[in-house]
Amino acid sequence: MGIRILHAADFHMDSPFDALPPEKAARRRKEQRDMLGRIAQLCRGGGVQLLLLSGDLLDSASAYYETKETLSAALGACGAQVFIAPGNHDWYSSASPYADAWPENVHIFTSGTIEEVVLPELGCRVCGAAFRMDHAQSMLDGYCAPEDGLVNIMVLHGDLKEGPYATVHEQAVAASNLDYLALGHVHTFSGFLHAGKTTYAYPGCPEGRGFDETGEKGVILGTVERGACDLRFFPLPGRRYLDCRLDLTGEADAAAALERILPPDRTGDICRVTLTGEAEKVDAAALAQLMEGRFFHAVLRDRTRPVRDIWAGLEEDTLRGVFLRKLRAVYDAAQGDDKLKAEAAVRCGLAAMENGEEPQI
């Protein structure tokens, strides 16, 4: 049957959300706390036996009082054994919230080297380590779990890329004798990776906090047993960040173009539209007004350039002149869509020569 697990990481609770107005930022922090109850309910409803939390649950090494209390209550009520490996944002110290009292079912790794906890009733060993400051050396290197019939699981915050955030080397994963390595630090679901007999993964963050965290967010659910994992990514409901680009080159009606790209029925989400390309003077305020009420929060950025005559310089005795004359001959001979393609080729070529932004085609 295997051991039922839920693996989550990188909540970054108490994030400032400083790109939002203060009242919306406060609401987002409350929603982060509400998410904890949904994860606890998911554990109870799914018969989860181990809740693996791979660091950066908090956005800093401190927390609002209500955040710590809400987190403690949710973990205490989740019905599973909980294992936390503090990360580079919520690193462990004697002054951190992790040094306070926690429910009996919560184990927090506090050492900068690998600790082991054996759970005979589940036939498994859960290992982990903590960041002791906001940088850490590789913690997995040199570790090999005993070969004694127990299922070996590790909770760790670290980076697959070489750097200051407890680098996780693939060869160390392969040599670890772990059945599952539950990682945190990367905010996008990694897919399920394999090194030696070990399966390892990042669940990503359960909710986005900015336009660098778009797409579906969630946790990992499933079972782990000796030499085998049956796991899946489980999306969680919550606000999503949508980052759209709109090239206004050749658009006679900017408002109509914007209407075409705005997704319907996303009133709970946060959307940013960046206007690019060549356009007549854009009424950004009017376009922003079109987005009002359709999203929890909307941002419109005008990055357009003034309309230019692409054939200016046709007679120049320069590389640009030669380029334009050759493309003009192609353009004049073209029909229909081929004319548009030739014009697009001119714009791309000029952008390359001028080290400018390449137009969207």
Return the percentage of the chain with pLDDT > 90, whole number.
79
**What is the rounded CA–CA span in Å between residue 247 and residue 153?**
49
d(CA 154, CA 129): 9
The two structure tokens encoding residue 242: 């949508």
- Rounded Cα gap, residues 289 and 128, in angstroms: 50
Confidence at 7, pLDDT banded by 50, 70, 90: very high
Please determine, for residue 315, whether its predicted confidence score (pLDDT) is greater than 70: yes
CA distance 294 to 216: 20
Q: The tokens of 220 are what?
A: 């990992």
Residue 271 token pair? 């959307």
- The model's pTM is 0.86
Give the range among 23-32, 250-259, 332-341 with minimum mean pLDDT.
332-341
Count of other CB atoms within 10 angstroms of residue 337:
8
340-357 mean pLDDT: 82
In the predicted structure, residue 359 carries a pLDDT above the cut 80: no
SS3 labels along the chain: CCEEEEEECCCCECCCCCCCCHHHHHHHHHHHHHHHHHHHHHHHHCCCCEEEECCCCECCCCCCHHHHHHHHHHHHCCCCEEEECCCCCCCCCCCCHHHCCCCCCEEECCCCCCEEEEECCCCEEEEECCCCCCCECCCCCCCCCCCCCCEEEEEEECECCCCCECECCHHHHHCCCCCEEEEECCCCCCCCEEECCEEEECCCCCCCCCCCCCCCCEEEEEEEECCEEEEEEEECCCCCEEEEEEECCCCCCHHHHHHHHCCCCCCCCEEEEEEECECCCCCHHHHHHHHCCCCCEEEEEECCECCCCCCCCCCCCCHHHHHHHHHHHHHHHCCCHHHHHHHHHHHHHHHHHCCCCCCCC
Average pLDDT over residues 233-258: 93
First to last CA, the chain: 52
Confidence of residue 260 (pLDDT cuts 50, 70, 90): very high
Residue found under tokens 């209390």:
69
**What pLDDT score does 305 carry?**
84
Please name the residues in contact with 117: beta carbons below 8 A apart, sequence gap of 6 or more.
83, 107, 125, 126, 127
Contact 140, 104 (CB under 8 A): no
pLDDT mean over 219-239: 96
pLDDT at residue 254 in the model = 93
For 282, counting Cβ atoms within 10 Å of its Cβ (0-12 exposed, 13-18 middle, 19+ buried), the class is: middle
Q: Kindly report which listed range (134-143, 262-271, 279-288, 350-359) carries the lowest average pLDDT score.
A: 350-359
- Residue range 141-156, pLDDT digits in tens: 999 999 999 999 999 9
Q: What is the pLDDT of residue 306?
A: 84
| Mean pLDDT computed over 327-342 | 87
The predicted pLDDT at position 16 comes to 94
Beta bridge partners of 165: 136
